[in-house]
Amino acid sequence: QFITNLIEFGIDPPIVFWDERLSTVAVERVLRDEADLSRNRRGEVVDKLAAAYILQGALDRLRHL
């Protein structure tokens, strides 16, 4: 419905399919290897960082369309 409303107002956003399955794995790897965070602390931040990782990847992709 949201996209339909945008199109009705003359906004035609690009639609990009994004595979996010490995985002959590990538973020956990960075937190473990680079940030040296404990398992408990990683659990507190991994979802937020995975969301940021997905968003940044999508924005980077859109920039090259």
Per-residue pLDDT tens listing for the chain (65 residues): 898 899 999 998 888 788 888 898 888 888 888 877 777 777 788 889 999 999 998 889 888 87
What's the gap between Cα 21 and its chain centre? Answer: 10
Cβ neighbours of 46 (radius 10 Å): 19
Q: What is the 3-state secondary structure (H, E, C) of 16-28?
A: CCCCCCCHHHHHH
Q: Which long-range contacts (CB under 8 A, 24 or more apart) does 24-28 make?
A: 24/50, 26/50, 26/53, 27/53
